[in-house]
Amino acid sequence: MNTYSKAYQSVILALLSAIYFLITAATFTSLGVVLPRMIADLHWSWSSAGLGFSLLGLACGLSSYLPAMSIRRVGVRLTFLAGTVILAAGFALLARCASLLPYLLGATLLGIGFSFVATVPGTYVIGRLYKNQSSAFGFYFTVGGLGGVVGPWLVVLAVNVLGDWRMHWVLCGVFMTVTGLLAAMLMPAGEKEREHAKYVGERVSADSAVYHTGETWSAREAMRTWQFYAIAGGYAAFLLVGITTNSFAVAHITEHGFSAKTAAALLSAEALINSLSRFAAGFFGEKIEPKSMLIVSLLLMVAGTLALGASTSLPVLLLFTVGVGAGYGMTFLATSVLLSNFFGRLPYLEIFSVTNLLSTFACFGPWLAGQMKDAFGGFTGAFLLVAGIPLVISVAIAFMQPPVKMKRYTEELSSGI
C-alpha cells in the first residue's frame, strides 16, 4: 500500500524544488553578476576571479559521486545535513573574504555542496517517492530552472537595498541553511521509505504507457551497457552547449551588430523557455517515450547553436533562443527519466551520479571557445564544433534499444529463442 500521504509527498517535492531553486540562484547564475563588484572592491584580476567560477563547476562535477556514497552509507537526511554544513561554510567564506584564497575555497565548497543537495539526491528521493516520476521531475527541474532567472536579482537586492555585495552571500547562506535543515529533518527515511519505494516500483510498470525495464539491474551491470554511455553522452552534450553558448552569446551577438540590450533580452527569454520546457517535458513524459524526447531536444540544441553561430538576423537569433532554451530543458528531464526507465530505480543513484561525473568535461567548453576566439577572431567556429557533438549523439540515440542483461541474452541464444 501507499505508505506516504499525498500531502507529505507534495511537501517533500516542494522542499526539494525550493532547495534546487535556491542553490541554482545562489551559485552559477549569481556568481557572474556579483563577481565584477568583488573584483572592484578587492582589486583582483579577471583571470584570478574567473578561476573561482571554474573551480565551482569542476568541484560540482567531480564531487557528484560523493552524495551517492553518502546516501548509501548514512542515508538521505545526513547527506542533506552534510551538504548544508558545506554550503554554510562556503557562503561564510565568500561573505567575509578579503583575499583570493578564501574566495577560491568558498567557490569550491559551493560546488561540492551543490552536489550534496541538488539533482543527485533530489531526483533520487523523488524517484522513490512518486510513481509518475516524470511529472514530479518536470516540476522539480522547472522550479530549479527558475532559480536561474531570480539569481541576478538577489545580487540587485543585496547591492541596491542592503548596500553591500557581501549581503548577497549572507542571504544565500541563510536561505540555504534553513531549507537544508528542514530537508535533514523531513526527508523520507527508514523502513517506511523502503516499503514505499518498493510499492511505487511495482506499480510503475503496470500503469505507465512508456517502456520500463522488467529486469533488476545493478549499477555495475548498467554501466557495462553502451546505452548508459549514450544517455550520459546526451547529458554531457546539453551541458556543453548550455555552458558554452551562455558564456559567450552576448559577446558574439554584439560583435554581429546587435545591441547588448537585445543580447541580454534573448538570454533572459532563453532561460524562461528553458524552465517552461522542463514543465512541458514532465507533463508529457508519462505519455511519450523519453528516447524520442531526447532525440528532439538534442536536435533543437543543434539548431539553436548553429543559429547563434550565424547571428545574421533577429529571427535567426530567436531560433537560437528557442532551440537552446527548449532543448536544454527537455534534455535535462529526458536523460534523467531514461536512465530510470532503462535500468530501474534501484541503481539510479549511482548511475546518475556517474553521469554527472562524466559530464564534467563540459566545463572545458568555454575554455576551448576562448582559445578558438583568440586563434580565429570569432566564436562561430567554436559554436559549429559544439553543435556537432549533440548531433552525433542524437544519431546514436536513434539506434538505441532498451538494454538486455548479458546473462539473459546468453541464455536466450543457447535455448534458440
CATH number of 213-409: 1.20.1250.20
CATH fold match for the domains 6-206 and 213-409: yes
Tell me the pLDDT of the chain averaged across its residues. 87
What is the value of pTM for the model shown? 0.82
Place of cell 567554436: 382
247 or 129, which is more confident: 129
Is the model's pLDDT at 324 over the cut of 90? Answer: yes
What pLDDT, on a 0 to 100 scale, did the predictor assign at position 132?
Answer: 76
**What percent of the chain lies above the pLDDT cut of 70?**
94
**DSSP string computed for 198-256:** HHHHHHHHHH-SS----S---HHHHTTSHHHHHHHHHHHHHHHHHHHHHHHHHHHHHHT
Vertex 284: Cα angle to 280 and 285 (nearest 5): 105
For 271-312, give the secondary structure using H, E and C.
HHHHHHHHHHHHHHCCCCCHHHHHHHHHHHHHHHHHHHHHCC
322 or 409, which is more confident: 322
Closest CA to 234 of 398, 29, 64: 398
What pLDDT, on a 0 to 100 scale, did the predictor assign at position 209?
Answer: 67
93 or 155, which is more confident: 93
319 contacts 310 by C-beta, under 8 angstroms: no
H or E element in which residue 101 lies:
helix 100-117
* Chain segment 397-406, per-residue pLDDT in tens: 999 999 988 6
Q: How many whole angstroms from its chain centre is CA 389?
A: 18
40's CB contacts (< 8 A; 6+ apart) are none
Q: Which fold has domain 6-206?
A: Growth Hormone; Chain: A; (1.20.1250)
**DSSP string computed for 368-410:** HHHHHHHHHSSSHHHHHHHHHHHHHHHHHHHT------HHHHH
* Chain segment 11-42, per-residue pLDDT in tens: 999 999 999 999 998 987 788 778 878 888 88
What pLDDT, on a 0 to 100 scale, did the predictor assign at position 415?
Answer: 46
Q: Which of 128-137, 323-332, 394-403 is the least confident region?
A: 128-137
217's CB contacts (< 8 A; 6+ apart) are 343, 344, 346, 347, 405
258 contacts 317 by C-beta, under 8 angstroms: yes
What pLDDT, on a 0 to 100 scale, did the predictor assign at position 300?
Answer: 96
What mean pLDDT do residues 324-332 have?
A: 90
Q: Please report, for the chain, the start and end positions of each structural domain, with discontinuous segments joined by +.
A: 6-206, 213-409
Q: Residues 177, 181, 186, 191: is their CA dihedral positive or negative?
A: positive
CB atoms under 10 Å from CB of 96, counted, come to 12
236 contacts 392 by C-beta, under 8 angstroms: no
The crossing angle, in degrees rounded to 10, of helices 28-42 and 6-26 is: 30
